């Protein structure tokens, strides 16, 4: 499995969201019963942005993500975590900004595939 090592760390403001996948049953009296849906029912989502990248730095990131095709998992350790997780990335943007710099934004979804 490939490891994502960006040329520079993401810019401040990275967003880390966790979603719980649950099985829920609602009863007529307003009572709800919930249970985890599967062993890995908690899934992380990272929203990352790299501001003011040189064109070759932006190309490295977009080429890496494109090579995974949105479905192949890769390893990456968020900058605030000592733990490396498996991720997939289905969407990213590459913005051309002032003076030839680039801005990359990407959403990483935690993958439980080994």
In a domain, 61, yes or no: yes
pLDDT digits (tens, 9 = 90+) for 52-99: 999 999 999 999 999 999 999 999 999 888 999 999 999 999 999 999
Eight-state DSSP code of residue 1:
-
Segments forming the whole domain that contains residue 25: 15-110
In a domain, 75, yes or no: yes
In a domain, 60, yes or no: yes
In a domain, 80, yes or no: yes
Q: What is the per-residue pLDDT for 42? A: 87
In a domain, 7, yes or no: no
Residue 114 has pLDDT above 80, yes or no: no
SS3 category, 58: helix
In a domain, 34, yes or no: yes
Instruction: Provide the number of structural domains found in the chain.
Output: 1
SS3 category, 75: strand
In a domain, 31, yes or no: yes
């Amino acid at each position: 499995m490939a490891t994502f090592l960006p040329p520079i760390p993401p810019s401040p403001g990275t967003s880390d969201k966790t979603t719980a996948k649950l099985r829920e049953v609602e009863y007529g009296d307003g009572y709800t019963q919930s249970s985890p849906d599967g062993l890995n029912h908690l899934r992380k989502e990272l929203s990352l942005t790299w501001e003011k990248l040189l064109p070759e730095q932006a190309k490295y990131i977009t080429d890496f993500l494109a090579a995974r095709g949105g479905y192949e998992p890769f390893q990456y350790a968020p900058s605030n975590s000592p733990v490396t997780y498996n991720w997939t990335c289905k969407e990213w943007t590459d913005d051309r900004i002032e003076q030839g710099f680039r801005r990359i934004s990407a959403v990483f979804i935690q993958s439980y595939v080994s």
